[in-house]
Structure formats: structure tokens, C-alpha cells
Amino acid sequence: LEPGEVPAQPLKVRKQSSELRSARWFGPADLRSFGHRSRAMQMGYAPEEWTGKPVIAILNTWSDLQPCHMHFKQRVDDVKRGILMAGGFPVELPALSMSESYLKPTSMLYRNMLAMEAEELLRSHPVDGAVLMGGCDKSTPGLLLGATSMDVPAIFLPAGPMLRGNWQGKVLGSGSDSWKYWDELRAGKITDQDWLGVEGGIARSYGTCMTMGTASTMTAIAEAVGMVLPGGSSIPAADAGHIRLASESGRRIVDMVWEDLRPKTIQTRAAFGNAIAVAMAMGCSTNAIIHLIAMARRAGHDVGLADFEHYSRRVPVIGNVRPSGDKYLMEDFFYAGGIRALMNEIREHLDLDCVTVTGRTLGENIDGAKVYDADVIRPTSDPIYGEGSLAVLHGNLAPDGCVIKPAAMDQRFLRHSGPALVFDDYPSLKKAIDDEDLDVTADTVLVLRNAGPQGGPGMPEWGMLPMPKKLLKQGHRDMLRMSDARMSGTSYGACVLHVSPESYVGGPLALLRTGDIVTLDVDARSIRMEISDEELAARRAAWTPPPVRYERGYGWAFSKHIQQADQGCDFDFLRTEFGAPVPEPAI
């Protein structure tokens, strides 16, 4: 089924107009509804325009500081056109716009804020269904988390990847080439003038990062879990097909309201299995782990790190998109057949009976999808990385687990032992890293702590710790690094991430000292410090908790309620099983 195609099966119309949620606002002959109707008329809408029609909220995460969603300012009109054509009543509700590139200290601090906003916007307004407009990293899970908890019919409209970057005839990839050329600049291999050229050429159009970063990973996941029209997550933002996807999403959500097709019906445990399998086949961003755990748990399924390990061991990476792949970007992936073709390649790993926003099954959505370039979307018999593209590690450094991305690192470090060089905060690491006398060799294990959910705060994407200048000049481009931070999906390298529990709350990473030997064995899925239990106990007894990061405001509430990485970094009070379900507003 291509975007724009209408599902063949007849509509399962179940709802009457009087059963619409919005009818409780607009229908009754009482004083409050008088107010709702007269205020709609104040906006210039005649009763004929809304009476008996599904009111569709469009949660739009556009802003003047969100380059990836720049086109949403116009695209929202295409969504509205679709809704109107299908007999719905569109209302645009702006929602928190979180630019991955601008937000300090990190957009991850605000994912749950968007999730809360999305849920409460849908709850408090007279809406029957929602189109969720997002795509830049945390905006996808943020919107989906909120819509899932509220559980009104919803469809996700991904922003689409931007065009390939270009500089001096070379293709540039978001993120990945910034890190790459930054290291070249620091090693003296390119000039300041070259660097300015990269700056001007790396982001050429609106849309999300076009490497397999968190944005492309999360929108693919949104589609695999059933929340996006077929093929929608691969369409470049600047392609006319993206405009058609917008209006088709608008048309489709109206029918979804009549069919009462809700997020929790679509997002079954099997659907999350599909999402994890697709994430693995795409060579996904490590951030996917945190977001998917949170999303699955909101939908009522106890998905955890073990599920990622399960699929990672079975599903090979076949999407040859950087940084796991060596050459291609999302635009190439689209031309090669896109996500439908990728899913068709790995269909033996998918539950094809899962229902999607089309009202049809995933299997029906991907039937007949073809690969047009077998170097970009590889056959499973000739993958980019055989199995274990993401590995979940445990050991005395990470009792609740941590992750590494073997598909995007120097394979020399898969088994490694070396002395730790520990930094307690990013500024001191940054200060030391260019010191050419730094006591570091290629065997050193570079460690940053206090960078987790509470320590960061917000678990910033610092996990690809910068390479010491001394090693860069010696020609090294990778080394074993470890932190309780995350790393950008566009990053690469031998980086152990998401160490849980984090050091800030007293996880064992807090007890590691410079000079201690750290041993990684990816095959054995283990990470340890070679310290006796007695010595560890003594260090623990001497450990004192660091001061709180925030003493007021959102940051304070965040630190009180944020869960650890292995739990998905949701707020404890947003968990599905936390208290009784929230009732509909009474009057």
C-alpha cells in the first residue's frame, strides 16, 4: 500500500456522531455547551462546519527554532485539507517544539514534558482523534507516549529526512560528518576554510537528520509499530510525496475515529517486537532502546533490555545507512525502496498480523514491496552486520545493564582490557582532552560519569567522548569509552552507554578510579572493573551523594521522578500502572 492509496476493505463504521467525544462539548443544550458553540462561531466557524463531525487535533511541533520541522508551518495546511475532505473538523494545537540541535542542556530533559503536554492537550480539549506532527529525535517518542496514554485514535506524521548534504562534491551526513571533519580539523588535516564549507553544506533542506540517527530510527519505529501510513517514514521532507502523505494522514485519521482504532489497539506487544526487529535491521540509534521501553510500557507491555538482546541476536543489519552502514543516507534508502522494502526483507522476523493505522495488517501493508538497490537495502544473506548490532552488557560496572553498538565501532575493541581514565564532569574532560601531555594511550578506557538521567541532568548525548588530541595525532580514530550518558544516533565508536544505575545515584560507576582496569567482552556481554568485592564495599561506604542539580522548577520535579535508562527514563507517575486511570473531564 503506497501513501495515497486507500485501504480496500470497507470501513468498519461503529461510532455514531452522538458518540463522538467532542459531542460532549458541542452537543448538549446547556449553558456550558452554549459557550463552546458560541466561541467556535467567534472564530468564524458555522455550526454546519463542526456539527456531527470528528474534531481532529493536529499536534504541530513547528517553531522558529526547529529547523527540522520548518516545513510543518505549511504542511499543517495539507493535513487540514485531508481532514476536511474526509469530513472532519481540523484544529491545530501547537505543542512543545524540541530542536535536538538547539536545546540545552539536552532535549532528553524535555521528552517527558512533551509527552505530558500531548496527553493533556488531547484530554482537555474537545477532540476525537489526533495527527501527531513530529520527527526530530525526542518529538517522536514524546508525542507517541502522550497519545498512547490518552488513547484516542492517533496517526503519526513524520517530518521526513532532509536531503543529502553536499560539500566540494562530497556527500555529507548529519552528525556523523560533523564529528568526522571536526577530528580532521583538530588533527590538522583540513583548514578552517574547509570547515566553514562543511558548516554550510551539511544541512541543505528542512527535514530531520538524514543519517540513521535517532530521528530516522524513531520514525521507522513509529511506522513499524503501526502508527504511520505505509512507507511514510522514508519519504524525504522535500519530496512532493511528503505533501501527499500529510493530506492522506489527515484523510485517514477521520476514518480511524469512526472505526475507533486507537493506539493501544495497534501497539500490542507483538507490534513492539516488530519495532525492535526493524530498529535492529536499520542499524538503529542506541537511543531507540530508551524510547521504545518507555513507549511499550505506556502501552501496557513490560518490554526491557532483554527484548533488545533477543532481537539483536537474530536480526542482521541490512539497512546500509550511515553510521552503521558505510556510504548511504536516508534519501538513498528511499530510492532503494524504503522501509516497506526493508520490512519485506526481514518478514520472517515480524508478526505480520499486527493491525496498523490503515486498519489493515502489517503484512498487507508490506506485501509486494521491492528492493531497488540491493547495496542500500541488503538481502539478509549479505548484511552490513550479521547479528548483535546492539549489545546489552552486564557486570559489576552496570548491574542493571548498559549498551554498546558493535556495528559502528572498531572491531578491535570487542574484547579489551585497559586502565580507566575517569572524569567526573564534562567540562574537566573537555579541558583535559586537548592536552598533549595527557596520560593516555590507545589502550586507555576513557570514562565520564555523572552524565545520566539525574546527573546530566537529562542524560545528554555526551557518550561519544571526544578522542584525546594526542591519540588523534598518532593516527587513532577510536578507543574504548564509557559513560552513563547517551550518544547521538549519528555517532559511532567503541562507546559503552546508558550505564545503569547511573553514577549520580550511587551506581558502581561512581566507585571507579583512574588506573583501575576495565574489561569489556562483547561476546560474553560483560563489562567489569577488576576490583575485589571487599574493595568495592569499602569504596561504597566512603561514597557521598553529590548535591542536587536543581532546587526548583521543572528540573527539580524531573530529578524527583525520572527513572533510570533501563526503565526507559519515563517519569514514575506517568507509568501506566501508577494509580487508577485518569477519568474523562466530568463537566
Task: Indicate the pairing of strand 165-167 with strand 170-172.
Answer: antiparallel
Cα(488)–Cα(100) distance, integer angstroms: 10
Size of the site for ligand FES (CB under 6 A): 10
Among 213, 456, 493, 568, binds ligand FES (CB under 6 A): 213
Among 40, 76, 84, 136, binds ligand FES (CB under 6 A): 136
Compare residues 63 and 450 and give the one whose CB is closer to ligand FES. 63
78-117 footprint of ligand FES as x/- string (CB under 6 A): ----------------------xx----------------
Q: How far is the CB of 15 from ligand FES (least distance, A)?
A: 36
Q: How far is the CB of 93 from Mg ion (least distance, A)?
A: 25
Among 130, 209, 280, 429, binds ligand FES (CB under 6 A): 209
215 binds ligand FES (CB under 6 A): yes
Q: Which three cell numbers stand for residue 206?
A: 528542512
Cα(27)–Cα(21) distance, integer angstroms: 10
Residue for grid cell 530529578: 559
Cα(67)–Cα(251) distance, integer angstroms: 26
Compare residues 461 and 570 and give the one whose CB is closer to Mg ion. 461
Q: How many residues does the chain have?
A: 587
Q: How far is the CB of 329 from ligand FES (least distance, A)?
A: 13
Q: How far is the CB of 287 from Mg ion (least distance, A)?
A: 7
Q: Give φ, ψ of 18 to 5 degrees.
A: -70, -15
Residue 503 partner contact from Mg ion, ligand FES, none using kind-dependent CB cut-offs of 5 to 8 Å:
none
68 binds ligand FES (CB under 6 A): yes
Residue 68 partner contact from ligand FES, Mg ion, none using kind-dependent CB cut-offs of 5 to 8 Å:
ligand FES
Cα(498)–Cα(464) distance, integer angstroms: 12
Residue 488 partner contact from ligand FES, Mg ion, none using kind-dependent CB cut-offs of 5 to 8 Å:
Mg ion
Which range, of 182-190, 205-213, 278-286, 455-463, touches ligand FES by CB under 6 A?
Answer: 205-213
Residue 208 partner contact from ligand FES, Mg ion, none using kind-dependent CB cut-offs of 5 to 8 Å:
ligand FES
Write the DSSP string, 397-461. TEEEEEEE-GGGS-GGGSEEEEEEEEESSHHHHHHHHT-TT-S--TT-EEEE-S-STTTTTS--S
Give the containing element (helix H, strand E) for 257: helix 240-259
Cross-strand partners of 90: 56
Which range, of 149-157, 209-217, 332-340, 402-410, touches ligand FES by CB under 6 A?
Answer: 209-217
204 binds ligand FES (CB under 6 A): no
Q: How far is the CB of 111 from ligand FES (least distance, A)?
A: 13
Binding site for Mg ion (CB under 5 A): 100, 137, 213-214, 488
Cα(56)–Cα(536) distance, integer angstroms: 57
Give the containing element (helix H, strand E) for 224: helix 214-224
Write the DSSP string, 15-50. --GGGSTTHHHHSSSSHHHHHHHHHHHHTT--HHHH
Q: Which residues bind ligand FES (CB under 6 A)?
A: 68, 100-101, 136-137, 174, 208-209, 213, 215
